């Protein structure tokens, strides 16, 4: 393929691989995005309102193969990460690229956005030594979150998901136990949460009604951190009764910004550095179950839509 030369201030990148973010991309695929809302106002490539057809994705790793005459530094041959939609080649300015550390595999590097999200969730939840923590949802973000939390000195870390493959994986990542939320939740709360409820609950399932589950597993002054993006899905949330009396603290977490309490010392660069370190520790490429060429996108999205239980992480790979 013959590619046009980049503009003087741009670099041309050949994609190596790009990760599908199933939770968000399935909202796009199913037409469940809120009306009049951009996909991500903080990313130039996703800042416009979504309408079909559209190019999507935001986790691409590639190699710089050409540089414009005004680009400073030696970028040729460098592996880079970009919040770039799925595509075989793309142009970008230097400030839109992040160098991939030499000791990080390309197929691990595509997890950078989701790992940054997981780091942000931990920072927003601020788990305390000895707490009982519950994570609802064990998609990729939930699994990465569980992997990080497993290294914290918690009394217990429990995960819930309806898909057995995800539950089994969360155990390998260090969860104390993993359970199907369709089971005996009263027994789960009384025996494992000691009737006082979880201290900290993360909701990352993408299912709005899971908020009621989070409330049901909480206790007095429990913290519930919502990391899911529900799109235009909604549910009736039971905020009366125990939810009111228990003085619950319910907050939302979104990776585009940092927690205000951390902003005096933290910035995106520092958080990326921690995300890279978590990638080194957790080796998330082991979660990849499907690798396909971009030409097979239709089949892969149908699989994610119809049989999500078969997929942990799906990747597009480019020749």
pLDDT band, very low/low/confident/very high, at 108 (cuts 50, 70, 90): very high
Q: Is residue 5 part of a domain?
A: no
63 lies in the same domain as 168: no
For residue 38, what is the enclosing H or E element?
none
Q: Is residue 105 part of a domain?
A: yes
* Residue range(s) defining the domain that contains residue 232: 114-260
285-302: pLDDT as tens digits: 999 999 999 999 999 999
Question: What is d(CA 100, CA 44) in angstroms, rounded to the nearest whole number?
Answer: 21
Give the chain's domain count: 2
Mean of pLDDT values over 238-256: 91
149 lies in the same domain as 248: yes
Question: What is d(CA 28, CA 22) in angstroms, rounded to the nearest whole number?
Answer: 10
Q: Is residue 222 part of a domain?
A: yes
Q: Is residue 3 part of a domain?
A: no
Question: What is d(CA 289, CA 165) in angstroms, rounded to the nearest whole number?
Answer: 11
pLDDT at 43 over 60: no
Question: What is d(CA 186, CA 5) in angstroms, rounded to the nearest whole number?
Answer: 63
SS (H, E, C) 164-183: HHHHHHHHHCCCCEEECCCC
pLDDT at 45 over 70: no
pLDDT at 101 over 80: yes
20 lies in the same domain as 119: no
249 lies in the same domain as 296: no
251-275: pLDDT as tens digits: 999 999 998 999 999 999 999 999 9
The percent of residues in the chain predicted with pLDDT above 90, rounded, is 81
pLDDT (0 to 100) of residue 241: 82
123 lies in the same domain as 208: yes
Higher pLDDT, residue 288 or 47: 288
Query: With the C-alpha atoms ordered 149, 225, 233, 184, is the resulting torsion angle positive or negative?
Result: positive
pLDDT band, very low/low/confident/very high, at 51 (cuts 50, 70, 90): low
Structure tokens at 260: 């205000």
222 lies in the same domain as 289: no
Q: Is residue 4 part of a domain?
A: no
46 lies in the same domain as 97: yes
pLDDT (0 to 100) of residue 59: 96
Higher pLDDT, residue 146 or 50: 146
- Cis peptide, bond prior to residue 244, ω within 30 of zero: no
CATH of the domain at 230: 3.40.50.720
pLDDT band, very low/low/confident/very high, at 231 (cuts 50, 70, 90): confident
Of 12, 206, 23, the residue nearest 113 (C-alpha): 23
Distance from chain centroid for Cα 23: 8
CATH of the domain at 94: 3.90.180.10
pLDDT at 205 over 50: yes
132 lies in the same domain as 243: yes
For residue 16, what is the enclosing H or E element?
strand 10-19
Q: Residue 214 to residues 136, 197, 225, 248, 312: CA-CA distances in angstroms? A: 8, 10, 9, 10, 23
| Least-confidence region, from 113-117, 124-128, 201-205, 206-210 | 206-210
Distance from chain centroid for Cα 89: 24
99 lies in the same domain as 128: no
Q: Is residue 279 part of a domain?
A: no
Q: Is residue 187 part of a domain?
A: yes
Of 90, 100, 66, the residue nearest 318 (C-alpha): 90
Q: Is residue 274 part of a domain?
A: no
83 lies in the same domain as 179: no
216 lies in the same domain as 293: no
pLDDT (0 to 100) of residue 240: 86
pTM of the entire predicted model? 0.91
Distance from chain centroid for Cα 264: 25
256 lies in the same domain as 141: yes
Average pLDDT, the chain: 92
pLDDT at 52 over 50: no
Mean of pLDDT values over 167-195: 95
């Amino acid at each position: 393929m013959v590619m046009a030369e980049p503009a003087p201030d741009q670099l041309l990148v050949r994609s190596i691989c790009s990760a599908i973010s199933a939770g968000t991309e399935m909202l796009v695929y199913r037409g469940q995005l809120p009306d009049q809302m951009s996909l991500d106002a903080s990313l130039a490539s996703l800042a416009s309102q979504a309408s079909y057809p559209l190019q999507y994705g935001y986790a691409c790793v590639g190699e710089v193969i050409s540089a414009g005459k005004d680009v400073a530094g030696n970028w040729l041959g460098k592996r880079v990460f970009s919040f770039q939609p799925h595509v075989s080649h793309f142009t970008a300015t230097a400030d839109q690229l992040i160098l991939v550390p030499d000791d990080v595999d390309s197929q691990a590097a595509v997890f950078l956005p989701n790992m940054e999200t997981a780091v942000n969730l931990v920072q927003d939840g601020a788990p305390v030594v000895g707490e009982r923590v519950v994570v609802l949802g064990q998609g990729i973000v939930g699994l990465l979150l569980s992997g990080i939390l497993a290294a914290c000195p918690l009394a217990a870390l429990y995960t819930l998901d309806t898909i057995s493959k995800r539950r089994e994986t969360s155990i390998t990542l260090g969860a104390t136990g993993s359970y199907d939320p369709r089971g005996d939740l009263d027994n789960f709360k009384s025996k494992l949460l000691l009737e006082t409820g979880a201290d900290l609950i993360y909701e990352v399932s993408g299912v709005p009604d899971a908020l009621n589950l989070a409330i049901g597993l909480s206790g007095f002054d429990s913290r519930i951190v919502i990391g899911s993006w529900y799109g235009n899905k909604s549910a009736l949330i039971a905020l009366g009764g125990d939810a009111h009396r228990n003085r619950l603290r319910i907050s939302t977490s979104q990776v585009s910004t940092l927690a205000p309490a951390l902003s005096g010392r933290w910035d995106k660069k520092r958080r990326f550095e921690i995300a890279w370190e978590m990638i080194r520790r957790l080796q998330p490429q082991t979660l990849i179950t499907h690798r396909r060429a971009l030409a097979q996108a239709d089949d892969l999205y149908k699989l994610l839509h119809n049989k999500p239980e078969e997929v942990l992480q799906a990747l597009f790979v480019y020749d």
